[in-house]
């Protein structure tokens, strides 16, 4: 197993609240994506190394050109990564059934977009993880084109780079900068272990304040 795959597997076992707290203590509190970005299926977690893409509205393009550009985006998405898109518009859907099927087939781990998604029922049935900020039936044809691949994008106040890591669950999404991702995961694993000790102590009758003072965590 590669280092990235191992880190992804460990990250997927954690939860965003604990990861956020560790990032904050390390001076990286600006790590949470806007709370409107949610999973199509709240029960589906998403973790992995990021590959970024951005784009913009361009209604001067003909349908063929925009579809060539869109399928090029799908071709560029690397397997084993999480595709994170800043479309710079809330006008159209930036994910749909056939596109999700394509990414799923390519073994892309999931898709995160600061924008719309459509064909929700189909995507839910195939089980491909999609996090988006809204749903709309409007598509990208003759309306939108990608413009940058693998370059930093900003969602909300968080700048995300290819090679960073992302974790999403029911509570939201957090970004782990690439250079500290390994340390963040290790520290969070320690935090979760301590939380389990606190939980056990309280369930065994220890006063919660005493448990906090003993373990230094709550």
The contacts of residue 105 (CB under 8 Å, 6+ apart) are none
Residues 136, 115: Cα–Cα separation, whole Å: 10
Residue 205: the pLDDT is 79
Q: Which of 187, 189, 158 lies closest to 174, judged by CA? A: 158
Helix (H) or strand (E) holding 122: helix 120-126
Residues 194, 75: Cα–Cα separation, whole Å: 43
Question: What is the pTM for the complete model shown?
Answer: 0.91
Residues 164, 50: Cα–Cα separation, whole Å: 5
Residues 149, 53: Cα–Cα separation, whole Å: 5
Domains of the chain: 3-177 (3.50.30.40)
Residue 8: the pLDDT is 97
Q: Is 134 helix (H, G, I), strand (E, B) or coil?
A: strand
Give 211's pLDDT tier (boundaries 50, 70, 90).
Answer: low
What distance lies between CA 188 and its chain's CA centroid?
Answer: 18
Residue pair 167/20 in contact (Cβ under 8 Å)? The answer is no
Condensed to tens digits (0 to 9), the pLDDT of residues 90-118 reads: 999 999 999 999 999 999 999 999 999 99
pLDDT at 154 over 80: yes
Give 192's pLDDT tier (boundaries 50, 70, 90).
Answer: confident
Q: Which of 75, 83, 1, 22 lies closest to 48, judged by CA? A: 83
Please identify which residue in the block is written with the tokens 């001067």. Answer: 60
Residue 203: the pLDDT is 79
SS3 assignment for 11-37: HHCCCHHHHHHHHHHCCCCCCECCCCC
Condensed to tens digits (0 to 9), the pLDDT of residues 27-82 reads: 999 999 999 999 999 999 999 999 999 999 999 999 999 999 999 999 999 999 99
Percentage of the residues of the chain whose pLDDT score is greater than 70: 94
Residue 197: the pLDDT is 66
Give 199's pLDDT tier (boundaries 50, 70, 90).
Answer: confident
Residue pair 36/131 in contact (Cβ under 8 Å)? The answer is no
**Cα angle 32-212-217, degrees, rounded to a multiple of 5:** 30
Helix (H) or strand (E) holding 213: helix 208-215
| Tokens encoding 96 | 């749909």
């Amino acid at each position: 197993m590669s280092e990235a795959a191992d880190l992804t597997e460990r990250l997927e076992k954690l939860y965003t609240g604990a990861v956020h707290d560790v990032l904050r203590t390390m001076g990286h509190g600006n790590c949470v994506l806007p709370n409107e970005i949610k999973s199509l299926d709240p029960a589906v977690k998403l973790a992995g190394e990021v590959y970024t893409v951005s784009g913009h509205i361009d209604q001067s393009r003909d349908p063929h050109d925009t579809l060539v550009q869109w399928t090029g985006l799908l071709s560029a998405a690397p397997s084993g990564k999480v595709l994170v898109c800043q479309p710079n518009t809330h006008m159209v859907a930036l994910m749909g059934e056939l596109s999700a099927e394509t990414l799923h087939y390519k073994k892309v781990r999931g898709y995160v977009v600061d924008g719309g998604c459509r064909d929700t029922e189909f995507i839910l049935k195939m089980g491909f993880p999609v996090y988006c900020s809204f749903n709309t039936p409007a598509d990208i044809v003759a309306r939108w084109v990608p413009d940058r691949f693998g370059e930093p994008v900003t969602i909300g106040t968080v700048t995300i780079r290819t090679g960073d890591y992302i974790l999403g669950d029911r509570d939201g999404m957090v970004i782990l900068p690439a250079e500290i991702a390994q340390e963040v995961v290790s520290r969070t694993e320690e935090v979760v272990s301590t939380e389990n000790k606190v939980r056990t102590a309280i369930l065994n009758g220890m006063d919660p304040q005493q448990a906090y003072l003993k373990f230094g965590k709550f």
